[in-house]
Chains A and B, each alone.
Chain A
Amino acid sequence: MTPGFSYRRAASIKDAVTGISEGNGRILAGGTDLLGCLRDSVFTTNMVVSITGIKELKRIDETPGGGLSIGALATITEISESPVIRERYPALAQAAAEVASPQLRNQGTIGGNLCQKPRCWYYRGEFHCLRKGGDRCYAVAGENHYHCIFGGNGCYIVHPSDTAPALIVYGAEATIAGPAGMRKVSLENFFVPPAKEVTKETVLEAGEIVTAIVLPPPLAGLKSSYRKIRSRQSWDFALAGVALALRTSNGRVTDARIVLSGAAPVPWRLVDAENALIGKVPDPDSAKYTAALSVKDAQPLKHNAYKIPLFKGLIEEEVVNISQA
């Protein structure tokens, strides 16, 4: 049975902000991550603030500039099936379709997907590790098969979201409401690496909630995709995932974005590899070169070096696939 908590059904964004500002309130959207965390005592809360009654958070609207605003409560299923998203932001639709299981996609929201807690099994288990405010990381010398190969610094989680890397290749922004008003943060800067603050996953401050994700208009001629490798056929988090966006002019790459899931504590952008692609013909040779460059700074742990050839192969294949698409 879940430990007890008080429950407040927020009538408005302001009400939700007030609700979580009191005590150690937590937002409830689809609940697919929150309830698991509470049952496993990953954290406790005295107040669950449900935002599911706030209709304006459910909307998916085209913005005046030709972009798209996705309300925080849009479900993962709605995103994977939205005709506008499938046509203009295919990597996002593909990533959403790869999330968890049909039931969880029907229930889970985009806001919750971006704010979900990591899946490190020590963290989810009864270990008071660094990320929970303890004094050490149990994964670094333990079972670290599913941990990071980039960006580990004291803590070695991988960021669990499939949608985040896809949103980042399109330059999406999060709209955030809080006690001081509204602000916008590029999704690329939304996630907090352990080197900066090991007990935080996102830049959200006390009392802040995500209200929407805003995508800029897609670049004309941009090709994009998301591909995920998991260890079994049914639902699973990414062992390795890559969101890719490329644009070419006269056969040469003019714009490139590569963002990985399952690789680092935050969605991991490969700026060097992106730059290496600019000006090249996206053929098997440059794909190979890009892939090799992508993993050159990898720092595997004892049990996860297999991720290096996995990412290398995945990136190489995806660069070739997308340029032939």
Chain B
Amino acid sequence: MSSDADKHECSCGKGLTRRQFLTSAGAGALIVTASGHLGKDQEASAAVIKSGEETKITLLINGKQFQMLVEPRWSLLYVLREELGFTATKEGCGRGECGACTVLIDGMPRYACMTLAVEAEGVEITTVEGLMKGEDLGPVQKAFVEHDAFQCGYCTPGQIMAVEGLLRKEPDPTVGQIRQGVSGNLCRCGAYPHIIDAARRAAEMKKSGAL
């Protein structure tokens, strides 16, 4: 490829590239520019929370504000379950591999196990509890019940949040999009066919405004 941008880093072995030039000039292989130091306007520095020390944070969960003390290492999942009692959100792997801990952050599905609580300030957090319409189940929850979209139920809150997040972005998903949407949520019981039916049904219910 011979765009201008490539010329200086061409590794085709033809001619003297900028990289080779710098190397042969003894400037260190990769230092291309030393274009000024970082701006003075960026001098502001931040407070440090020491390891083991607790700091006060405010989380916005299901439309309500919660203030609490947290250690830097605590995950959002730990705080939701152990500090605040939102126990619908489950811990499976703690490694970003299973999806049991899926919550919505600003409407998008994310893993609470891979999010630090101190990083979750200033965003809107939604858990399964937040999908309830008063005492009634929300449409995605209802569709999961209607379609028997679970066996042991361990993965279900995470599946529901993944589907909720998908439908907020794509109100009328294809089966392919649904498969994609729940591809980060493992179900050991193999309830996938029912989960996909439930997601379709939830889309219909949401569209018709029915609960």
Contact = CB atoms under 8 A, between A and B. Distances in A.
A52 B123 CA distance: 13
Contacts of B37: 180-181
Contact of B9 (A28, A171, A257): A171
Contact of B115 (A1, A17, A31, A189): A31
A242 interface: no
How many of chain A's residues touch chain B, expressed as a range? 35 or more
A15 B6 CA distance: 32
Interface residues of B, number: 67
A107 B111 contact: yes
B30 A181 contact: no
Contacts, number: 188
Contacts of A306: none
B156 interface: no
A131 interface: no
Please indicate which of the listed interface residues A19, A35, A177 has the most CB atoms of chain B within 10 Å of its own CB: A35
Contacts of B19: 186, 189
B144 interface: no
Contact of B184 (A10, A102, A169): A102
A24 interface: no
A255 B2 contact: yes
Given A52-B119, A67-B5, A106-B109, A2 B75 contact: yes
Chain B at the A interface: SS class? loop
Interface string B88-108: 000000111101001001001
B9 A13 contact: no
Contacts of B38: 12-14, 17, 177, 181-182
A238 to B, nearest CB: 15
B146 to A, nearest CB: 24
Interface stretch (B48-56, B61-69, B132-140, B200-208): B48-56
Contacts of A12: 38, 41-44
A229 to B, nearest CB: 16
B94 to A, nearest CB: 7
Contact of A11 (B44, B78, B185): B44
Contacts of A235: 97, 183-184
B5 A4 contact: no
A104 B183 contact: no
Contacts of B186: 234
A30 to B, nearest CB: 8
Given A47-B48, A189-B29, 16 more contacts: A7-B116, A8-B49, A12-B44, A35-B96, A48-B72, A77-B108, A102-B162, A104-B96, A104-B184, A107-B110, A169-B1, A171-B1, A182-B38, A183-B33, A183-B34, A233-B179
Interface of A: 1-15, 17-19, 28, 30-32, 35-36, 39-40, 46-48, 50, 52-53, 67, 77, 100-104, 106-107, 169, 171, 173, 177, 180-186, 188-189, 203, 216-217, 219, 222, 233-235, 245, 247, 255-257, 269, 271, 275
Interface of B: 1-6, 8-9, 11-13, 19, 29-39, 41-52, 71-73, 75, 78, 94-97, 99, 102, 105, 108-111, 113-116, 118-119, 162, 165-166, 179-181, 183-186
